[in-house]
Amino acid sequence: MKIGFFTDGYLPQLDGVGENVSTLATALRQAGQKVYVIAPKHPGFKDKDPNVFRLRSVRVYKKPEWRMALPIPEKDFQKAAKIPFDLIHGHAGGPVSFLGFEIARRRNIPYVFTYHTLWNRYTHYILKGKVLTPKMMEVASKIYCNMCTLIIAPTKRVKKELESYGVTKPIYVISGRLDLDRFRKVEKGYLRKKLRLGKEISIVLYVGRLGKEKSVDLIVKSFSLVAKSKENTRLVIVGDGPEREKLEKLALKESIGKKIFFAGFVNRDQIPLVYKDADIFVFASQTETQGIVVPEALASGLPCVVVDDPAFKEVIIDGDNSLSANNNPKDFSSKIIKLLESPLLRRRLGANAKKFAKANFSIKQQVEEHVEAYRKALILHKNRKTQVEVLKKRFSAIRDFLQVNKRLALFKQVLTKEF
């Protein structure tokens, strides 16, 4: 199949969408599919892949950099528009995926869309939430999804939410998977050397964007309670975003500024090295469709402490591979302390986490599920085309019948006048 990935998030953008789309595109190609990627252009970044086409873009956010594509008919745009796609797969729900939808509509080919983001949780980024409301995003999601051939949801939680909006098109649940080889046979020492932390220091790690919806403030407040009893423990925050300054001020307010390291962005190739040096991974977001960093941590053999949220029900087994906590600093910190005080428990959960990742996060399984969804989309689209053609023939027959009757009526009128 010739598949067009029209995505608003892609390398070098280091978020869950970009990481997942890149991993999936590579794996589909290795499985024999022809995948073309159309994504926003990032100044100074050059693709080695000839099947990646970039659209001119403007920067929307600086830290982390997020760019919005402008579908201007330039060189790459024109090349991509000529590719004879069998199917188009949209990701992220911005201008690029909308462009993919329009091309699919005009060519009358299937359009599959992966609902990566719960947009009703992100309206605060659009003019500070003063124009778009969560309900408006739900209505928009319903309309858009019902125009697609089928939808892919990363978790059952997302499928259930889309159905609550009124989405009636088929929804396939296909979780994002990992290239597990990236997290195997990784050497220790990178993060400790970078931050000058000795082996006697325990590292509690967060990886992700520093946005309001990620609830990193809960992690900082929780760690302030941990730091009171665990002197040789440090919180390392990897990532950047609009909340960084507020979080740094919060750390000073909690009197733990010297025990928290804001490491900023780390190159994608070095992310497995970051996990390797940590002792515990923490994540408190309640707006995730999947939260790919949690599977990454599990694949690295890290026990996690996460807020009890539907997004993690399919990956976090409380007490077996990680611990779930209530959404408050007291309970969240108590779970971190529990792991810090029991190396045996950490090792057991970490070993189970790695086994769970091996059994559930294989990219091969994701490829097979996507190919099956694509085949289903082709069948649905073909059936729809047949139904449309049948309806057209019926309407044409009815129209011809009405025209014949109209002519007969006119003929009768003429005969009546003559005789």
What is the tens place of the pLDDT at every residue in 326-335? 999 999 999 9
Cα–Cα nearest to 63, from 234, 291, 246: 246
pLDDT given for residue 64 in this prediction: 66
What is the tens place of the pLDDT at every residue in 345-383? 999 999 999 999 999 999 999 999 999 999 999 999 999
Backbone angles phi, psi at 4, to 5 degrees: -100, 115
d(CA 218, CA 282): 10
- Centre a 10 Å sphere on the Cβ of residue 285 and count the other Cβ atoms it contains: 23
What dotted CATH number matches 2-173? 3.40.50.2000
- For the chain, what are the domain ranges? 2-173, 180-361
d(CA 48, CA 223): 42
Residues linked to residue 35 through DSSP beta bridges, in sequence order:
3
d(CA 243, CA 382): 48
pTM for this entry: 0.85
The answer to whether 366 and 26 are in contact (CB under 8 A) is no
pLDDT given for residue 297 in this prediction: 97
- 317-355: burial string, b at 16+ Cβ within 10 Å, e else: beeebbbbbeeebeebbbbbbebbeeeeebeebbebbbe
The answer to whether 110 and 381 are in contact (CB under 8 A) is yes
The amino acid at 112 = V
Burial class of residue 27 in the structure, from the number of CB atoms within 10 Å of its CB (0-12 exposed, 13-18 middle, 19+ buried): buried
Segments of the chain scoring below 70 in pLDDT: 63-64, 122-131, 385-419
The answer to whether 261 and 195 are in contact (CB under 8 A) is yes
pLDDT given for residue 386 in this prediction: 60
- Centre a 10 Å sphere on the Cβ of residue 231 and count the other Cβ atoms it contains: 8
Alpha-carbon 69 to chain mean position: 18
Q: Does domain 180-361 have CATH number 1.10.357.10?
A: no
Cα–Cα nearest to 119, from 291, 269, 288, 353: 288
d(CA 243, CA 342): 33
d(CA 7, CA 393): 37
Backbone angles phi, psi at 171, to 5 degrees: -120, 120
The answer to whether 9 and 91 are in contact (CB under 8 A) is yes
pLDDT given for residue 291 in this prediction: 85
Q: Which residues contact 182 (CB under 8 A, 6 or more apart)?
A: 272
Output the 3-class SS for the chain.
Answer: CEEEEEECCCCCCCCHHHHHHHHHHHHHHHCCCEEEEEEECCCCCCCCCCCEEEECEEEEECCCCEEEECCCCCHHHHHHHCCCCCEEEEECCCHHHHHHHHHHHHHCCCEEEECCCCHHHCHHHCHHHCCCCHHHHHHHHHHHHCCCCEEEECCHHHHHHHHHHCCCCCEEECCCCECHHHHCCCCCCHHHHHHCCCCCCEEEEEECCCCHHHCHHHHHHHHHHHHHHCCCEEEEEEECCCCHHHHHHHHHHCCCHHHEEEEECCCHHHHHHHHHHCCEEEECCCCCCCCCHHHHHHHCCCCEEEECCHHHCCCCCECCCEEEECCCHHHHHHHHHHHHCCHHHHHHHHHHHHHHHHHHCEHHHHHHHHHHHHHHHHHHHHHHHHHHHHHHHHHHHHHHHHHHHHHHHHHHHHHHHHC
- Centre a 10 Å sphere on the Cβ of residue 85 and count the other Cβ atoms it contains: 21
Q: What does the block give as tokens for 170?
A: 């088929």
